[in-house]
């Protein structure tokens, strides 16, 4: 292997150390400064047009975790992880991300980092790509499918698909940031989102792609990682189906 930079070595150790915890130590509190450092690193995740269409609810209250475990989570494993973890990070995807455009545009202008041409086209381009409403999404896709025969055009996703995709990026950053502080995490999608919305008083504007239990691992880290497919089973070279060559 080509000699790697110190930064690559650090990231490699974090990426390989991350694991989904089966159990968490009970009655452990994560220091506030560590939680905030994890969150500040998390917020550096990329998003389409920098719209950052995500909210995070950090559930630390014991009674709320009990309510979520009893009434929301599916399966005994997820239930006791929610009860025992120090904090439950609930990730929300904004289904009305167009309402963020003006605020983000103002921040971009103040930063001075964007070209004037980008700032001029950003509101229209981002609004067009946001598939808010089934009728609007259908109409845009019909138009872009026709135009795609003559020039490259985007495929318009539903608001839910788009927000879930962007929220997944920030959730992965969260788990890696937590791992850098030797915290354990477990991403979970086994829950009733309708009940979760009610317990956490979440407006209908948002959806819940996933929750991440966070805390201190009950078990000692295993030297044997969970299995992964080989590179050749996942990665192609240049075109679909072409073997990846070392």
The Cα–Cα gap between 130 and 162 comes to 7
Instruction: Output the pLDDT for position 1.
Output: 63
The Cα–Cα gap between 200 and 78 comes to 17
Structure tokens at 83: 């009860």
pLDDT digits (tens, 9 = 90+) for 12-57: 999 999 999 999 999 999 999 999 999 999 999 999 999 999 999 9
Q: Which residues of the chain have pLDDT under 70?
A: 1, 131-133
Instruction: Output the pLDDT for position 136.
Output: 76
Instruction: Output the pLDDT for position 131.
Output: 66
Q: What is the DSSP letter of 20?
A: B
The Cα–Cα gap between 188 and 213 comes to 8
Strand partners, 217: 24
Handedness of CA 27, 60, 73, 169 (dihedral sign): negative
**SS3 call for 178:** helix
Say if CB 167 and CB 93 are below 8 A apart. Answer: yes
Handedness of CA 112, 114, 115, 121 (dihedral sign): negative
Structure tokens at 49: 């047009």
pTM metric for this prediction: 0.92
């Amino acid at each position: 292997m080509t000699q790697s930079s110190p930064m690559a070595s650090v990231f490699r150790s974090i990426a390989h150390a991350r694991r989904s915890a089966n159990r968490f130590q009970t009655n452990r509190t994560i220091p506030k400064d560590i939680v905030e450092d994890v969150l500040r690193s998390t917020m550096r995740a990329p998003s389409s047009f920098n719209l950052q269409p995500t909210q995070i609810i950090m559930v630390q209250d014991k009674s709320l975790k009990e309510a979520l475990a009893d009434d929301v989570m599916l399966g005994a494993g997820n239930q006791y992880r929610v009860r025992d973890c120090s904090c439950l990070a609930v990730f929300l995807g904004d289904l009305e991300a167009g309402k963020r455009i003006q605020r983000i545009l103002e921040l971009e202008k103040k930063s001075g980092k964007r070209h004037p041409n980008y700032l001029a086209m950003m509101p229209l381009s981002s609004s067009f790509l946001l598939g808010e409403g089934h009728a609007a999404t259908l109409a845009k896709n019909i138009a872009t499918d026709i135009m795609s025969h003559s020039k490259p055009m985007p495929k318009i996703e539903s608001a839910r698909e788009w927000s879930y995709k962007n929220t997944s990026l920030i959730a992965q950053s969260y788990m890696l940031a937590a791992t850098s502080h030797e915290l354990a995490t477990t991403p979970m999608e086994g829950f009733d989102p309708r009940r979760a919305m009610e317990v956490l008083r979440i407006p209908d504007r948002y959806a819940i792609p996933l929750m991440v239990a966070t805390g201190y691992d009950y078990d000692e880290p295993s030297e044997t990682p969970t299995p992964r497919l080989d590179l050749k089973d996942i990665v192609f070279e240049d075109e679909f189906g072409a073997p990846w060559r070392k």
